[in-house]
Amino acid sequence: MDKLPRILNSKTPKTYKNNKLNNANFGDFTHNDYQVFLHLVSKIGGVDESGKYLQPEQLKREHILTAKDFSDVFNTDIHNTYRILNKACRKLMKTDLTLHRNESLELWQINVCSMAKYNKKEGCITIEFTDRIMPYLSQVRQKFVLYNLKEIANFNSLYTTRLYELIQEFKDTGYMLKSVEKLRDIFAVGDSFKLYSDFKRRTFDHACKEINNNHELNLGYEEIKEGRKVIAVKFVFKKTRIHKVTNQKTGVEKNFYIKPKQKTKKVTKQLATPKSDILEGQMSFQEIKKEP
C-alpha cells in the first residue's frame, strides 16, 4: 500500500479555485453563504513534505468549519456566526452552480455538496464536497487563483468579493476586460438591475470603491461602448510584482508574488447581517446567456 503524504497546511487560510469556477454563476448565494464556501475550500489546500501541491486524488472531501474559525477570519460576532453557519449549511446542499465548459460551448450545473450537517452543540458544520466539484478545487497554479482569506475579510458585499477574485486571474497584467453580459452572469443578478446604470451602481462601481478602501490597488474602470450602449468594462489596477529568486544549491528559480498592500483598519465585530440590497448578495438566476 502506498504511503499517504503528510499534508502541510498554511497557518493562514488560503483559498484555491479553478479559473472556470472563479467565473461561475453561484446562483442565490448570499455574501455569508459564499464566505462559508470559501472558508471550507481553504481547508482543502495543502502540500506534501516535498513542497508539491497535493494531487486531486489526495484531497479530502469532508471538512469541518467551526463558528470560532469563521469568526476569527471574517470578524463576525460569534453568536451571529452560529446563524450564518446554519443557513449556509442548508444553502450548500440545495444550491448548484453554473459554469462554462469547452470554450463556453457547454453550460454545466454542478452540486457543491453531497452532505452537509449542522451541529448546534459543537457550533460547527460538516460538509462533503461532491466528486464533480473536486477537480475545480485541486491545486494547479497555472489555471487557478490563490489568495489569503484575510484579503477579503473586511468586504461587506458579495459583488466586492467576486470582483476581487476576478482580478486575481489578471494580477500580473494590471487590467481585465469583461463584457457586461459576462459580469451580469458572474454576479448572478438575473432579472435585477435591468438598466445598465442600476447594474453598474449596485455591483462593480460599489465594489471598486470598497476594494480601494481596503487595498492599495488604485482600481478603476473604463466603459467600452458600441454606439451609445456600454458592452464591456475594462478594469485597471496596480499589478502584482513578481520577484524571481534562485536557490543557490539547486539552481531552481522560484517566483514570489508581491501584491499591492492591504490597508490596515480597526476591526469591529459584526453584530448583525447588513440589510441593504447591495450587501445582501445575489438574487436568483435564470438561464445564462452565452457571452457574445
pLDDT of residue 289: 36
Block residue for cell numbers 448565494: 29
Q: What is the pLDDT of residues 130-171, one digit of tens each?
A: 999 988 887 665 678 889 999 999 999 999 999 999 999 999
pLDDT of residue 271: 43
Q: What is the pLDDT of residues 47-56, one digit of tens each?
A: 666 666 666 6
pLDDT of residue 11: 66
Question: Quick one: cell of 84?
Answer: 450564518
Q: In terms of pLDDT, which residue wins out, 109 or 275? A: 109
Q: What is the pLDDT of residues 208-257, one digit of tens each?
A: 999 999 999 999 999 999 999 999 999 999 998 877 777 777 777 776 67
pLDDT of residue 265: 66
Distances (CA, A) of 246 to 48, 116, 141, 172: 21, 45, 19, 20
Could you tell me the pLDDT band of residue 282, with boundaries at 50, 70 and 90?
A: very low
As a whole number, mean pLDDT of residues 45-72 equals 81
Could you tell me the pLDDT band of residue 281, with boundaries at 50, 70 and 90?
A: very low
- pLDDT > 80? residue 286: no
Cβ proximity of 29 and 282 under 8 Å = yes
As a whole number, mean pLDDT of residues 115-121 equals 94
pLDDT cut 90: percent of the chain above it? 59
Could you tell me the pLDDT band of residue 90, with boundaries at 50, 70 and 90?
A: very high
pLDDT of residue 44: 87
Give, in degrees to the nearest 5, the angle at Cα 190 between 186 and 192.
115
- pLDDT > 50? residue 30: yes
Distances (CA, A) of 7 to 46, 236, 261: 6, 37, 29
Could you tell me the pLDDT band of residue 196, with boundaries at 50, 70 and 90?
A: very high
All structural domains of the chain: 14-258 (1.10.10.10)
As a whole number, mean pLDDT of residues 32-53 equals 83
Could you tell me the pLDDT band of residue 2, with boundaries at 50, 70 and 90?
A: very low
Q: What is the mean pLDDT of the chain?
A: 83
Cα-Cα-Cα-Cα dihedral sign, residues 21, 23, 25, 30: positive
Could you tell me the pLDDT band of residue 22, with boundaries at 50, 70 and 90?
A: very high
pLDDT of residue 84: 97
Give the number of residues written for the chain. 292
pTM over 0.75: yes
- pLDDT > 90? residue 57: no
pLDDT of residue 7: 41
d(CA 205, CA 198): 10
pLDDT of residue 250: 75
